[in-house]
Every structure is written in structure tokens, then in C-alpha cells.
Amino acid sequence: MARHKGDHEARRRDVSAAVWRVLAAQGFGGLTLRAVAAEMGATTGLLTHYFPSKKDLVAHALTLLDERHAARPRRSAPEGLAALRAVLADILPLTPEAAASNRIWVSSWDAALADEEVAAGHAGRYGRSRERIAGHVAVAQELGELAPCDPEGVAARVQSFVLGLVVQALLDPAAFPPERQLALLDAELAALT
């Protein structure tokens, strides 16, 4: 019997869901063809039909992360400093879902350090994020909420701060609950003004 395109797409969604569950439970270190196949109750042979190598599987996992990141709800705020705060708060692990996504992102850094192509992809993602942040900084300057400065430099500063805070909150969630994360973010933004 011939396979239908819908069957292939449904199976690919099943594979993607299994990849996500493995990532959430084990991080990138535990992402193997065997682990995903076991999560699906399938053979590695079936899985290699979709991902011939671990590198293909990692690339797919990063695509899933991008898609989930792009699709998640965002805070809304008026332009300027409030919008900058909202964008930065959206990065923080303030909810269980955001913490799970951040755990996966942070675990992906190991894969990026070991593979130039993955590293280049991450560098591009973080670069695009800095560009968005710099845009909010520039608007806040135009509105008089921030003193004249280099928007790209400020974007690099606050992105670095937030990524460091993400790591702190993931490693010691009791010491960095959501309220403290937001208070620290507000203090960092206040230092800019």
C-alpha cells in the first residue's frame, strides 16, 4: 500500500513530539536516535528514515526550538522601555514551560560548542535577538526614556545580563524565583536610565 503524504506528515509530527519529550527530559546530551526511537516505541530504523544521522536529529531539534519559541505567547507593552522590559522578560524562565524551554536551550550550547554549523546557527539567533532588543532601545531613546547611547552596545549588555540570569535561575530556582528574576531585570533596566 502506498503511503500518503498525510501519513508521512503525521509520522513526522510524532517524531517531533518524541524529540521534544527527550529534550525536555534529558537535554541535548541525551538526544540520540535510540532515545527518540524508544520514546516513540519504534525502531531506530524507522527513525533513520527521517533523520539519517544524529546531526540531522540535532538540526531538527533546533528547528523545533525555534518554532516553539516563535509560537509562544508574548507579553505586550507600549513602545519604549516597557516594550524592552517585556522582550527581556519573555526570555526568562518565569513559568514551568519557559523553564523547560530554557533548559533545552542551555543544554544545546554544548552541541553548539562542538559543531561549527550549530554554533553559527546559535550566533545568528542571538544576533537577531540583539537586533530586536537594539530596536527597542532606540525607541526608548527617541521617547526620552533612555539617554543617548549605543543601542547595539546596550542590547549586548542586557542580553548578556538576561542570559546569565537564565542560567542562575535554572541552576538555583529556589534562589531565583520569578519575582526575584523580574526585580533583578528591573534593577538592570533602572541602571540604564
Which residue, 97, 79, 77, 105, is CA-closest to 162?
105
Question: For residues 32 and 21, what is the distance between their CA atoms, to the nearest angstrom?
Answer: 12
Where the chain has pLDDT below 50, the residues are: 1-4
| DSSP letter assigned to residue 145 | S
Neighbours of 62 (CB within 10 A): 20
Q: Helix axis angle, 54-71 relative to 96-114, nearest 10°?
A: 140
pLDDT (0 to 100) of residue 16:
81
Note the pTM of the prediction, 2 decimals: 0.81
pLDDT of 2 reads: 44
What pLDDT shows up at residue 54? 77
Region of residue 36 (left: phi > 0; alpha: psi -120 to 50; beta: else) = alpha
User: What is the model's pLDDT at position 20?
Assistant: 82
Per the CB < 8 A criterion, the answer to whether 47 and 36 are in contact is yes
